[in-house]
Amino acid sequence: MAGRHRKPAPRSLRRAGGALLGLAAVVAIPATASADSGSAAPGPLLTGLIPAGATTVAAPPAVRGPETAVVVLGYGLLPDGSMRPELVHRLQAGYVQALLAPASPVVVTGGNPQQGVTEAAAMADWLVAHGIAPARVHIESAAESTRQNAEFTARILRDIGIRDAVVVTSADHIARARSLFDDAGIVVIAGLTPDQLPALVRQFGP
């Protein structure tokens, strides 16, 4: 009813919401050009949001439409088929990018099965369990290397009419991944790494 006061949300939820808004700024704020290198550099607000010591290797991803895919690269599973923390962190970054670009298809790529479970299958299950529509998730479960991640994902993207992608992987892997995806004919508009997420997203988010 109009005029009634609403009960404030719990503090933890307010903090989580603020963290997600902060990430939205990270993902959506345009980069500024670096005068000396000619490459894109983060704007001042982005710089303030990225944790100290984080490696920024690309312009922040823009909120894009269905012509841009979100591609999350796999990471070796544990012997029992469960995911290592590093892979969960990659998924958290990809998940938030998928929320901010709700029309974008999501590709998970990685084979190397453990106990009959591939990296891609484990990743897809995690995303669907966290609310991503199954129809958005495309599974590439044959790749056994970063080069194959790129080549096999490129086939999927071409089949569904996608020409570019936001590639999600770890900070020490993103430069190689971008290069190999470029070689495979996919335009990488941005790279996203887990260390670009505000800490509160991990604490209160997915």
**pLDDT at residue number 62:** 54
pLDDT tens digit sequence for 140-165: 999 999 999 999 999 999 999 998 99
Within 10 A of 34 (CB to CB), how many other CB atoms are there? 11
pLDDT tens digit sequence for 111-141: 999 999 999 999 999 999 999 999 999 999 9
Query: What sign does the dihedral 108-160-158-65 (CA atoms) show?
Result: negative
- Name the burial class of residue 51, with classes exposed (0-12), middle (13-18) and buried (19+) by CB atoms within 10 angstroms of its CB: exposed
Residue 86 has pLDDT above 80, yes or no: yes
Across 61-65, 146-150, 178-182, 201-205, least confident range: 201-205
Spelled out in words, what is the top-level CATH class assigned to the domain 11-204? alpha beta
Average pLDDT, the chain: 77
Say which residue, 205 or 39, is predicted with more confidence.
Answer: 205
Tell me how far CA of residue 14 lies from CA of 9, 10, 45, 193, in angstroms: 6, 6, 21, 24
Tokens of 128: 């669907």
Q: What is the mean pLDDT of residues 166-189?
A: 96
Buried b (16+ CB within 10 A) or exposed e, 163-177: ebbbbbbbbebbeeb
Q: What is the mean pLDDT of residues 29-50?
A: 35
Tokens of 16: 């989580």
Question: Residue 120: what residue type?
Answer: A
Tokens of 141: 């479960």
Residue 176 has pLDDT above 50, yes or no: yes
Q: What does DSSP say about strands 187-192 and 164-168: parallel, antiparallel, or unpaired?
A: parallel
| Domain boundary assignment for the chain | 11-204
DSSP state of 171: T
Q: Are 100 and 28 in contact (CB under 8 A)?
A: yes
What are the residues whose beta carbons fall under 8 Å from the beta carbon of 169, sequence distance 6 or more?
A: 72, 73, 90, 177, 191, 193
What are the residues whose beta carbons fall under 8 Å from the beta carbon of 115, sequence distance 6 or more?
A: 79, 80, 81
Alpha helices (H) along 145-198 = 146-159, 174-183
Per-residue pLDDT band for 54 (boundaries 50, 70, 90) equals: very low
